[in-house]
Amino acid sequence: MSEAIARHIDPSQMKVSDEVAIQITQMNKWYGTFHVLRDINMTVNRGERIVICGPSGSGKSTLIRCINRLEEHQQGQIIVDGTELTSDLKNIDKVRSEVGMVFQHFNLFPHLTILENLTLAPIWVRKTPKKEAEEVAMHYLRKVKIPEQAGKYPGQLSGGQQQRVAIARSLCMKPRIMLFDEPTSALDPEMIKEVLDTMIELAEEGMTMLCVTHEMGFAQAVANRVIFMDQGQIVEQNAPKEFFNNPQSDRTKLFLSQILGH
C-alpha cells in the first residue's frame, strides 16, 4: 500500500452536507452494442469524497466522464448541481464550467506556458480580466507548490509537476465538484506522493471529489465512500473501513486480494 499518506487525517472531521451535488438515476450507456454502464444509481452529496475502483474495463472512467458529458449517456438521468445533462449545449457548458476534471495524461496545452494554461479558461469562459485571472492562477500555483514554473512550458516539467498544474488549472475555474480520472496512473512512484498530497489538501478544504484511482491508501485516508465497479455496474459501496476490512461480495474480495495481496 502507498506510503503517501503519512500524516494523520481524520476523514470524519471533513463535513458532508445534506445538499445533493450529483444525482444519477437508472443511467445506461452503450458503445455501439456493448453495454458499458448498466442501471447506475448514485447520489453524491456536497463535500463527499468518493473513490471509485474496479478492474480495467469496468466502466469507472466512463462513469465519471459522463458526469461532465465527455461521454454521452443514452438512458436515465444525470443531474449535476441542479442542471440536467441533455443534448442542450448551454447546459453542458454550464456544467463543465462548474465541474473540474483531471486526466490520467494531464492534457496540458503544450503550446501555452503554465500561466497561460491556467488563465485561459477563466479569461475566455468566465470573462475574468487578465490581471485578476493571473493573480488567481499564481495563488493556485503556490498552493500546488510550483509558482516558480509559471513561465515555463508543460514539456519542461516533470510528470508530477504537470499533474499538479493540471489540478491548479481546474481549480482556477473555481469548480464546485472535482473529477479525477486515474490522476496518478501515468506517474513514476516518486511523483505519486506530491500529487496525492495536493488532492488530500483539496479534500480537507471540503471539495466534492470523485476519484477513479488504484491508490487504496488515499481511499482509506480521505474517502468517505468507496465504490467498487465491475462489468459496468456498481457491485459494492461502503465506508472505506468497512469496505477494506469486511468486503461483502466475492468479486470485491477477489479484487482486494489481488491489489492488496503483495
Partner 1 sequence: MNTSNSTFVRTEMLPQKAPPITEAGAVKWMRENLFSSPLNVLLTVLGVGAVAYLVLHIAPWLSRSVWNAASLTECRQIIEARYGEGATGACWAVIRERWPQYLFGFYPQHLYWRPVLAFVLLCVAVAPVLFDKLPRKMLWFSLIYPAVGFWLLWGGSVWVPVAALAGFAIGYVAAQVVKPLAGTILATIAAVVTPVLWWLFLAGPAADAVHSVLPIALESVRSREFGGFILAFTIGFTGIAFSLPLGVMLALGRQSDMFIVNKLSVGFIEFIRGVPLITLLFTASLLLNYFLPPGTDFDIILRVIIMVVLFAAAYIAEVIRGGLAALPRGQYEAADALGLDYWKAQRLIIMPQALKISIPGIVSTFIGLFKDTTLVVFVGLLDPLKGITDAVRASTDWKGIYWEPYIFVGTIFFIFCFGMSRYSMYLESKLKTDHR
**121 vs 211, beta carbon nearer partner 1:** 121
Q: For residues 146 and 162, what is the distance between their CA atoms, to the nearest angstrom?
A: 10
Residues in contact with partner 1, shown as a per-residue x/- string from 55 to 94 under the rule CB under 8 A: -------------x-x------------------xx--xx
Gap between the terminal Cα atoms of the chain: 9
**157 vs 219, beta carbon nearer partner 1:** 157
Contact between 103 and partner 1 (CB under 8 A)? yes
The 8-class DSSP code of residue 213 comes to: -
Q: For residues 188 and 184, what is the distance between their CA atoms, to the nearest angstrom?
A: 8
Contact between 110 and partner 1 (CB under 8 A)? yes
Judged by CB under 8 A, the stretch of 121-129, 182-190, 225-233, 251-259 that binds partner 1 is 121-129
Residue of 86, 107, 257, 258 that binds partner 1 (CB under 8 A): 107
**Cell of residue 134, nine digits:** 493571473
3-state helix, strand, coil in the chain (%, to 5): 40, 25, 35
The 8-class DSSP code of residue 188 comes to: -
Q: Which residues from 127-156 bind partner 1, rule CB under 8 A? A: 153, 155-156
Contact between 120 and partner 1 (CB under 8 A)? yes
- Cα→Cα distances 192→5, 164, 199, 231, Å: 11, 10, 11, 28
Judged by CB under 8 A, the stretch of 6-14, 117-125, 222-230, 237-245 that binds partner 1 is 117-125
Reference 252, options 221, 230, 222; nearest CA is 230
Cα dihedral 58/19/163/61 (nearest 10): 10
CB of 177: closest distance to partner 1 in angstroms? 12
How many positions of this chain bind partner 1 (CB under 8 A)? Answer: 28
Site residues (CB under 8 A) for partner 1?
68, 70, 89-90, 93-94, 96-97, 99-101, 103, 105, 107-111, 120-121, 124-125, 153, 155-156, 169-170, 173
